Structure 1
Amino acid sequence: MPFIPLLFVLASITLFFSRRRYKAIESAEPPVVVKGHTYSDSVDETELQPLESKKVEHVRSACIIGAGHVGALTAVVLASQNPHIQFSVVDNDAGLINAWNSDRPPVFEPGLEEMFQPRKRKLTNLTFSTNVHAGVAAADLIFLCSEIFSTITIDEKERLDLSQLESAIRAIAQVSTGHKIIVQKSTAPCGVVQRMKKILRKTASPSASFDVLSNPDFLVPGTALHDLLYPPRVIIGHIFSEDMSPGALSALKKLYIPWVPEERIITMDAWSSELGKIAANAFLAQQISSLHSLSAICESTNANINHITQTLGLPQRVGFGFGSSHLQTEVLCLVYLARELGLQQVAEYWRAVLRMNDSHNRRISQRVLSQLSGDLTEQKIAVLGFTPKENNNQYSVALGLVRDLSKNGVKVGIYDPFIPADQLENTLRASNASLETVTVADSVETACAGCSAVILHTDWETFGHEKVRWQGIAGQMQSPKVFLDPYGVFDQFKMQQWGFKMLQAWALTCIGGNIIDNISNNEPAFNQVVYYLIGAALLQVALSPPELWECRPRFYDSEAAATMSKTEEMTWVTWLMVNLCLHEISSCIRAIDFHRYATLMLTGVFSLPLCPNNEEKKSATLVLKQSILEYSQYTAHILETDPSFT
């Protein structure tokens, strides 16, 4: 038993050092967790103090994943407003990155070149790269702006492709260390923030931690840069949880504070922010489809869709349907969400919005084709402007329009001044459509040469009278020279003088060319009255004393007009007839119900000499005065909004 004393000695020594270590630990200030927050609990019962946080409170470097429309424009604006922060836009598409690093941006937005090119030369805090991992590793805050597309047609089972988004999340998890803030801006179904957190929790390194926020964009294609610079509100959504860092919200807010008033920055739960973003664009799509349904009714009645939009207080342009991938995807997200929740009627409602949009676009193309005579395979149509909105053309209205025309055998010439010809040709080839009859032109003149019809797809100034010699182009075209101007930006009278037949989007009927022939084919009986009226009006003008015309200013005052003498009334009725017949008819009866006013005034003018007694004369005079007053009030309104009316 000689080993027993030795074991006893060793045990005593071990106990001695263990006791000393225990005392040392006990005398230290161990961290403890109280209600989810870390504090230092000192032995001498001093006040609890928070430990130093490793959370991101001040962003020094930010990475934007996705060099598409939203990602690149967001980066340009953020970099210009936060010169002390380094911004890096990363994307696996080398062609897209090379385009952003070139002298010409790959997307068109009003004001982008003026803003981006100077920044590119002078601002060193914005870069574009294909090295996604390096951009993510160096960033404190990461914006997810990956494009999300639907892989469906309307009548198939909805399935949203989130592969690009999930690929970006896994790339973040793979290279991240420390703490990072991830901001979801991509179009995605509700619940994607929660899904992102689960993926990061499963795949990220234990040394990495994340705050995931939602910061939806409300950009309208074509005005996206303006929307970013002057946002009506900035929404930040987050999931309430114990591991949520208040500093993450503050860090994201600080990026917007330099140019957005703080009261416009609104925080809410992530689900509401995600659904709110979808709803905003879905409501816009719904409004567009609703107007298109009304325009279809206007085609079959005497109603004017421009008057209806004026009544509703909406912009008076009803042209093509929406083709933005954002609007299309947002509505599909609602269809998908409603179906997953078992709300079939809701899903059908939003699916109908998409069907109406497609129906309207097909109706326009068919009406253009209906104006052409002979073999359609011998006809050619020019489409001016392909897309002012997206670098992605999957849902481009122009692409759908070209497909419809091409299916009917028509040759189509496309010209877009802001998209290089090779890029446009690649887009057409990638559309998986049979477009052998489609060619890309390098000028308006080349696109329109030999065409029977022209479709103005975008209302750019590049196509206006000042930039293009339409009179010369008309001489190079074939009959019937149909011109579709859905935006109403062209001077219809000039275009008709040059031989074009103007096709209005709201009525989809041709006006122009031989005006008398067009009118006579529609309302022969009324035309006879018009002919007599023109002759009588011109005769009255020749016989009227010049001093009577000096009362013209009184005409625009309804009270003064009510006190006119009979001679003045007759003079002004004549002036109205001349104005209506020579001006309104020649300019395509724009924005006025010609039949109503002309009929009322004709009744008054020609019935006065035939009235057998004073009572009937008074009645006819009242009709005449009422028509004058209504027309004067309407004309006064037109003069305020359109001085060229005079």
Structure 2
Amino acid sequence: MKVTIVGSGYVGLVTGACLAEQGNNVFCLDLDPKKIEILNSGGVPIYEPGLKEMIERNRAAGRLQFSTDIAASVAHGDIQFIAVGTPPDEDGSADLQYVVAAARNIGRHMTTPKVIVDKSTVPVGTADKVSEAISEELEKRELSTELCSVVSNPEFLKEGAAVEDFMRPDRIVIGTESTPAGLRAKEQMRRLYAPFNRHHERTYYMDVKSAELTKYAANAMLATRISFMNELANLADLVGADIEAVRQGIGADSRIGFGFLYPGTGYGGSCFPKDVSALSKTAKEHGRELKILDAVEAVNEIQKYILVEKIEKRFGKDLLGMKFALWGLAFKPNTDDMREAPSRVIIQELVKRGATIVAYDPVAMPEAKHCFDLDFQGNSEGLKKVSMVADPMAALDGCDALVIATEWKVFHTPDFDQVMQKLTRPIIFDGRNLYEPTAMKELGIEYHGIGRHN
């Protein structure tokens, strides 16, 4: 099948490459010429395990192309995926200007029937806005508005495992209209996703608005579990309980399960923060407050400061002259995504108190440098207090303590003898609970986890 992907960012690239892998002829559009130049020269502008190799394979086979040519992209695909960004607006709602602009471009150039698929995470009712924008452009050219049908097909991709998630999905959600055009679109989407349903049916068909809400509901539920466990972990610290024992005790209940029950320094990234905020904003627009989600957001913001509080409790508020090693910058492992990363808060707060930071991350350091330039804008002295090194052990040299912000596998079993030799004091503040408190105590390491009790 001929497929066009509008937007060659995280979702667009993964979607395009995986659909090409299934034998489809995929045209990826992006209006950023630098991004297209990178892709056409064999590079990939984001880090995602397995994605670069898949793109190279399908480009070589002629199934995947990249361009800034809008007219060519519309002419190419019978199915047009809109996978552009929906950044949070100032009031927390999703900014749909790029989605609507993409829809208008399709409407301006289409001459044959198209299925337009909202792949971007968008609020309930967006499909109506997309349909309206395309219809307006078609009417200007005196073409039938029945040429298109808008489908909601939200993505459920975890950064760091997106290729695997797309190729072996838990579920595929497709929202279509009940009109003749909608039924034809449903059949085309069924054909497109048939290879993913070969062993058992994974597709859930529903109306468009239900599909739009499903995406937000899923992310909001996962974010809620994270904030809930962080609240319990903080309580465990106060009462002397071990949150790991609690996690195992409640996770064994089949009604609860173990997923997303790991406490830490709060969630970040491009999805949970903006999706929880956007869903809450949607509810307010309809006269309803989602009080649980408002609490989830509040808890998450507080949790980003939890390691700073532990460091303050141990060393006091004045950290002038102290140096901390920080392992992990990305908001989660297997990605270079620094958006809403807790590490950014931790670094800024420690620097405010006079500390110097030496950081290491296996992938995210180039992206982190751009973020620090923004975070410390107008504070050149603060920025000078943050440095990055190419080796995790090198980050420890002469530091007063180690702070862990991301659970990269390379941090799971370090040489603790070397850690103790390099640190001026054998102290670890573990924001991801990678180590067992009793084992650390036996090694002579002072250990501060999240809700972990010795």
TM score, norm. by length of structure 1 = 0.62
Q: What's the counterpart of residue 458 of structure 1?
A: 406
Are 1:284 and 2:284 matched, yes or no?
no
Are 1:87 and 2:26 matched, yes or no?
yes
What do residues 87-116 of structure 1 show as CA deviations (whole Å, max 9, x unaligned)? 122222344444445656443344445x52
Q: What's the counterpart of residue 120 of structure 2?
A: 186
Structure 2: distance between partners of 1:189 and 1:432: 33
What do residues 237-288 of structure 1 show as CA deviations (whole Å, max 9, x unaligned)? 023335x242221112212111324632121110111111110110000111
Deviation at 1:372, TM superposition (A): 2.9
Counterpart code for 1:459: E
Check conservation: 1:178, 1:207, Cα contact below 8 A: no
Structure 1: distance between partners of 2:232 and 2:123: 30
Counterpart code for 1:424: A
Q: 2:277 aligns with which of 332, 343, 349?
A: 332
Structure 1: distance between partners of 2:71 and 2:444: 60
Q: 2:66 aligns with which of 128, 131, 137?
A: 128
Deviation at 1:499, TM superposition (A): 5.3
Deviation at 1:199, TM superposition (A): 0.9
Q: What's the counterpart of residue 387 of structure 2?
A: 439
Q: What's the counterpart of residue 108 of structure 1?
A: 47
What do residues 70-92 of structure 1 show as CA deviations (whole Å, max 9, x unaligned)? 221122211111x2x21122222
Q: What's the counterpart of residue 241 of structure 1?
A: 179
What do residues 473-507 of structure 1 show as CA deviations (whole Å, max 9, x unaligned)? 4323222x322334444476775576532221223
After TM superposition, the structure 1 = structure 2 runs for residues 554-633 of structure 1, keeping only pairs within 5 Å, are none
Counterpart code for 2:408: W
Rg comparison, structure with higher value: 1
Are 1:206 and 2:145 matched, yes or no?
no
Deviation at 1:164, TM superposition (A): 1.7
Identity %: 27
Check conservation: 2:159, 2:335, Cα contact below 8 A: yes
Are 1:365 and 2:311 matched, yes or no?
no
Structure 2: distance between partners of 1:395 and 1:374: 24
Structure 2: distance between partners of 1:476 and 1:389: 27
Are 1:475 and 2:421 matched, yes or no?
yes
Counterpart code for 1:450: G
Instruction: Give the stretch that moved more between structures: 228-237 or 450-459.
Output: 450-459
Check conservation: 1:151, 1:159, Cα contact below 8 A: yes
Structure 2: distance between partners of 1:120 and 1:135: 18
Check conservation: 1:371, 1:482, Cα contact below 8 A: no
Q: Residues 413 and 97 of structure 1: is their aligned pair in 2 closer, same or farther, counting only changes over 3 Å?
A: farther
Stretches of structure 2 lacking an aligned partner (at least 5 in a row): 252-257
What do residues 193-219 of structure 1 show as CA deviations (whole Å, max 9, x unaligned)? 011111111123334721110001122
Deviation at 1:64, TM superposition (A): 1.1
Q: What's the counterpart of residue 308 of structure 1?
A: 246
Q: What's the counterpart of residue 18 of structure 2?
A: 77
Structure 1: distance between partners of 2:397 and 2:34: 33
Q: Residues 66 and 365 of structure 1: is their aligned pair in 2 closer, same or farther, counting only changes over 3 Å?
A: farther
Structure 1: distance between partners of 2:131 and 2:347: 43
Q: Residues 376 and 104 of structure 1: is their aligned pair in 2 closer, same or farther, counting only changes over 3 Å?
A: farther
Q: What's the counterpart of residue 503 of structure 1?
A: 448
Q: 1:272 aligns with which of 184, 192, 210?
A: 210
Q: Residues 276 and 464 of structure 1: is their aligned pair in 2 closer, same or farther, counting only changes over 3 Å?
A: closer
Q: Residues 232 and 129 of structure 1: is their aligned pair in 2 closer, same or farther, counting only changes over 3 Å?
A: same
Q: Residues 374 and 172 of structure 1: is their aligned pair in 2 closer, same or farther, counting only changes over 3 Å?
A: closer
User: What is the root-mean-square deviation in Å for CA atoms of aligned residues?
Assistant: 2.7
Stretches of structure 1 lacking an aligned partner (at least 5 in a row): 1-58, 510-587, 589-646
Counterpart code for 1:349: I
Q: Residues 380 and 199 of structure 1: is their aligned pair in 2 closer, same or farther, counting only changes over 3 Å?
A: same
Counterpart code for 1:211: S
SS in structure 2 of the partner of residue 350 of structure 1? helix
Q: What's the counterpart of residue 142 of structure 1?
A: 80
Are 1:257 and 2:194 matched, yes or no?
yes
After TM superposition, the structure 1 = structure 2 runs for residues 217-236 of structure 1, keeping only pairs within 5 Å, are 217-236=155-174
Q: What's the counterpart of residue 24 of structure 1?
A: none
Q: What's the counterpart of residue 429 of structure 1?
A: 373
Q: What's the counterpart of residue 405 of structure 1?
A: 350
Structure 1: distance between partners of 2:222 and 2:9: 22
Deviation at 1:457, TM superposition (A): 2.3
Check conservation: 1:394, 1:431, Cα contact below 8 A: no
Check conservation: 2:154, 2:174, Cα contact below 8 A: yes
Structure 1: distance between partners of 2:320 and 2:429: 20
SS in structure 2 of the partner of residue 406 of structure 1? helix
Total equivalences in the alignment? 436
